[in-house]
Structure 1
Amino acid sequence: MVQLPEIFEISPGNASFNERVFLPFKTSIELFVKREDVLHAEISGNKFRKLKYNLYEAQRLGFSKLLTFGGAYSNHIAAVAAAGRIFGFETLGIIRGDELANKFMDNETLKLAFENGMRFDFVTRTDYRDKMSENFIEKLRLQFGDFYMIPEGGTNALAVKGCEEILVEDDVNFNYLCSAIGTGGTISGIINSSSENQKVLGFPALKENFLQDEISQFTTKENWKLIRDYHFGGYAKTTSELVDFVEYFNQNQNFKIEPIYTGKMFFGLFDMIKNNCFKPGSKILAIHTGGLQGLNAKILQK
């Protein structure tokens, strides 16, 4: 098994950096992006942060098998599969939607994970809702043997610990810190390491009714807010307006985004800046959470 520090030791060669974002309209607002997408080619962005301490723990406890959960376009599923290949873990993915069982190779995310060695168990959406129940987990252990379990999206206390390392000392100069949200782990870490005079804005990529409570489990700070207006119908849902924006953005910036997470956040930020939702002269730092494998998703087809 590969020793984890070989990958997770941040150095000048694999550290993220802040980059100015071009705004195609006149404004006094300055928008920057933290390029977390450059941390690792396969364990991308916030998944690098979320998996870091979970993989240390799995290795410390002597597990050889990782089991996790996700949907058809899950960056987390793709990242865990890559980590398993790199570090020598067997990986199992419990996938939402039994209709995918006979056609998962048509899905670029699941195909990539399979090619990295992950094996799947496709469950009904009804059963998937009970995935964290004791009975469901016990059935998985009887079926697959012992494993180190990583929650959907990778969010747990160890993931939040990793995401607390996203911000660096110079980031205190920004008025706003922004992140797309899936399960809430990344923004929880950002909130914990933010300064009290900074406002943290989260852009849910799905229609949600749990994120407020989920994030509150991992932070006691109150300098954050969820911006709920830019989910475009829910997880992995898009509109032609969003797809057009992502295509335009990728043609005119020095970096790329995808439509499932970061695309929705940047659409929201551009819209909010144009509509004067920020104080004049504000400096905004948006976190690029990676996941560019999402550019291959068929939902991009208009």
Structure 2
Amino acid sequence: MSASLNINTPSPVQPLCVDWPGSEQVELFIKRDDLIHPIISGNKWRKLKYALLEARQKGVAEIISFGGGHSNHLHALGYCCQQLGIQLMALVRGDYSQNPTPMLRDLYQWQAQIMYLDKATYQQRSQSDFIEAWRAAHPNAMIVPEGGSQAQALPGVAEILQEQKQKFSHIIVPVGSGGTLAGLIQARQTEQQDNTQLLGIAALKGEGYLEELVTNLLPRSAPTNWHIEHRFHFGGYAKSTAELHTFCQTFRSNTGIGIEPVYSGKACWALKQKLAEGYFPQGSRVLLIHTGGLQGARQ
């Protein structure tokens, strides 16, 4: 299936050349999951891979999933469904019917069905009675959680570490729905990288909530050497400042690597701040995972 969608893996790991204070004390690298496909970007493919494989094997004709108006997950899923001949029902937080975002315009072009939900209704997206109501109305559909974060996502995310054999002291990744961090935690144990510290950067307000999302996806025996940093969400999901936008633009100009203010920009900002604070011991080998998805940068 990967071949039919022209997925380019393994994604490259390259030096991250920046002149941030403290960067001279460590070795910095970036894994370019943003390069695996121009549309099915980064961790969205990793988390969807095995769910889509199951859908194809079982002949699933419809997938129902959730996301915001700039959702990288829905964008990637919408394209995959269009290419695989599966109908997508996108349940979107907020009413964009009069002013659809570029992401939603793409979904319309890919013949997805879109239903706009108000905030209160959308908050029920993980409740069992809400899910069962949709199952009853669409008995033959596959329901994929927000962000694609479910048990099936973990083996796909694990391939991020399985693809390359370099060892790192620290791995940094943005956190939104928890699936990528959970997959890396599980993979680190399998790949015998238990000494690697995993640092998640919260892309939204959710101290305690994000940790719960991650642990709910993991077995009880999973490693505990991971942490989510909550200082760099810039006010909440998809919220940012002029300073963060300028930072993203400067980063792209200096490195040639595109980032956006919703996920990857916050992770890069956090890395810069952590370097300045001396968080990483001298000689550390630090890997930043670029999880792709630039919908937050589209106007």
TM over 0.5: yes
Paired residue type of 2:293: G
Deviations 1:254-299 (A, max 9, x none): 31111110000000001110221110111100111010232214xx
Kept in 1: contact 2:5–2:83 (CA 8 A):
no
Deviation for aligned residue 1:141: 4.2
Deviates more, 1:31-40 or 1:208-217: 208-217
What secondary structure is seen at the aligned counterpart in 2 of 1:157? coil
Deviation for aligned residue 1:217: 2.2
Please, which of 80, 84, 90 is the counterpart of residue 83 of structure 1?
80
Change (3 A) 1:171 1:274: farther
Partners of 1:144 and 1:103 in 2: CA distance:
28
Tell me which residue corresponds to 2:42. 45
- RMSD between aligned alpha carbons? 1.8
Matched, 1:159 2:157: no
Kept in 2: contact 1:8–1:52 (CA 8 A):
no
What secondary structure is seen at the aligned counterpart in 1 of 2:3? helix
Matched, 1:93 2:90: yes
Paired residue type of 2:31: K
Deviates more, 1:245-254 or 1:127-136: 127-136
Kept in 2: contact 1:14–1:40 (CA 8 A):
no
Paired residue type of 1:88: G
Kept in 2: contact 1:81–1:114 (CA 8 A):
no
Matched, 1:272 2:271: no
Paired residue type of 1:58: A
Paired residue type of 2:160: I
Tell me which residue corresponds to 1:19. 14
Change (3 A) 1:289 1:213: same
Change (3 A) 1:133 1:168: closer
Deviations 1:155-198 (A, max 9, x none): 00001111011113644521001100110001111111221111
Deviations 1:186-226 (A, max 9, x none): 11111112211110000010001411112112331111000
Partners of 1:192 and 1:124 in 2: CA distance:
35
Which ranges of structure 2 fall in alignment gaps of 5 or more residues? none
What secondary structure is seen at the aligned counterpart in 2 of 1:122? strand
Q: Which runs of 4+ in 1 moved over 6 A?
A: none
Instruction: Return the TM-score normalized by structure 2.
Output: 0.91
Tell me which residue corresponds to 2:99. 103
Deviations 1:132-158 (A, max 9, x none): 334323443455563111000000000
1:101-180 paired onto structure 2 within 5 Å: 101-104=97-100, 107-141=101-135, 143-144=137-138, 146-168=140-162, 170-180=164-174
Matched, 1:36 2:33: yes
Matched, 1:74 2:74: no
Paired residue type of 1:40: H
Which ranges of structure 1 fall in alignment gaps of 5 or more residues? 298-302
Deviation for aligned residue 1:86: 1.1
